[in-house]
Amino acid sequence: MNPPTHLYDLLTAYAASETRVSELNLGLVWTLCKAEGHLGLAMSPSTPTRTLTWPGTLVGKTLGELAAWLTAWEPYQATVGMAAVNCSLNQHPLPAGLHLNSGNLAVFEHFLPQLRNQKVVVIGHYPGIERYADDCQLSILERQPQLNDYPDPACEFLLPSADWVFLSASTITNKTFPRLAQLAEHATTVLMGPSLPWFPQWHEFGINYLAGLAITDADKLTQTAAEGGGVRIFENGACYHLVELTPSNSMAWLKSQIAEDYAEKQKLTLAMEQWYAEGNKVRFPAFTQLQHIVTRLSHMDSSYKRLWDESLLR
């Protein structure tokens, strides 16, 4: 079993980038990070604060620097880290999947025929989720419980016997994901929400489906998030993108990203050889970027090999 830190090591390795942040917006509901035309979201903490020490200093930092904040325990810092991770990963194409265009409850609507009469646990109170209480044995866990919600500690009692578990990707930011995923190992598990990072090793964490953000209009999404938009982002610039993590789908996703990173590695390697051939004595300017790519390729190669070996045993 991997240690709880494994996911965070992978995410920060995948998101390591020398690209400079051009905009960071800590909105009422969503925190948004922009860099070189790409953007990433993360759900903002629910408790406001006036004493952050770093506002006014984040633009111009690299995505890699801010992505490393994901491991922080201070909620706002970790949220900035999550948004930076997503901004970095969103530079890659989405994996093959299905766009769901029916709003913030689109994921539940999609799976509803399979959820009927099942034990369903939802981590996070999605606005309107209670409408499905008559269709399934619905339990909602929420850090700030509303009427009929369960508090966090109920996860230890409810998840092991669940048939379906819908995990909010905000659990990555608040560090509860590793334990929740472990408790849900016998359920069909959907990891979902705009905070979801699109990286191709989710199959290693017992996740069956991903339902993350597909950005359809970056300008509209930016404006809506900056103006306090919560569920309205699904009407203005974004929709859910659903991916089933079958072994073949995970292998195809890994293969595609390996090819993309390998091509970039070859390009940078040739540029580095040319740099030193021209007599330059200082370090190749993109050396750190090249190191990041080599690290990602190592992770992806290992993950692909494990899937390949498992496929031979099936």
Cβ neighbours of residue 231 closer than 8 Å, sequence gap 6 or more = 103, 104, 127
**In the prediction, which pLDDT does 1 show?**
65
Token readout for 86 is 């997503």
What residues does each domain of the chain span?
6-89, 98-245, 250-313
E strand map for the chain? 23-26, 30-35, 38-43, 98-100, 119-123, 137-141, 164-168, 188-192, 209-215, 238-244
Task: Say which CATH architecture domain 98-245 belongs to.
Answer: 3-Layer(aba) Sandwich (3.40)
Contact status, residue 96 vs residue 243, Cβ threshold 8 Å: yes
DSSP 77-97: HHHHHHHHHHHHHTTSPPPS-
Token readout for 228 is 């306090």
Three-class secondary structure of residue 42 per DSSP: strand
Fold of 6-89: Enolase-like; domain 1 (3.30.390)
Q: What single-letter DSSP state applies at residue 203?
A: G
**In the prediction, which pLDDT does 147 show?**
87
Helices 6-15 and 287-313: angle between axes, nearest 10 degrees: 130
Cβ neighbours of residue 113 closer than 8 Å, sequence gap 6 or more = none
Long-range contacts of 57-62 (CB under 8 A, 24+ apart): 58/21, 58/24, 59/21, 59/22, 59/23, 59/24, 60/20, 60/21, 61/20, 61/21, 62/17, 62/18, 62/19, 62/20, 62/21
Token readout for 174 is 């608040």
Token readout for 167 is 């995990």
Token readout for 181 is 């995923």
Contact status, residue 56 vs residue 162, Cβ threshold 8 Å: no
> Pairing relation of β-strands 164-168 and 188-192?
parallel
pLDDT in tens, 245-282: 999 999 999 999 999 999 999 999 999 999 999 999 99
Contact status, residue 164 vs residue 208, Cβ threshold 8 Å: no
Tens-digit pLDDT string for the chain (314 aa): 678 899 999 999 999 999 999 999 999 999 999 999 999 999 999 898 999 999 999 999 999 999 999 999 999 999 999 999 999 999 999 999 999 987 899 999 999 999 999 999 999 999 999 999 999 999 999 988 988 999 999 999 999 999 999 999 999 999 999 999 999 999 999 999 999 999 999 999 999 999 999 999 999 999 999 999 999 999 999 999 999 999 999 999 999 999 999 999 999 999 999 999 999 999 999 999 999 999 999 999 999 999 999 988 87
Cβ neighbours of residue 124 closer than 8 Å, sequence gap 6 or more = 140, 141, 142, 166, 167, 168, 170, 171, 193
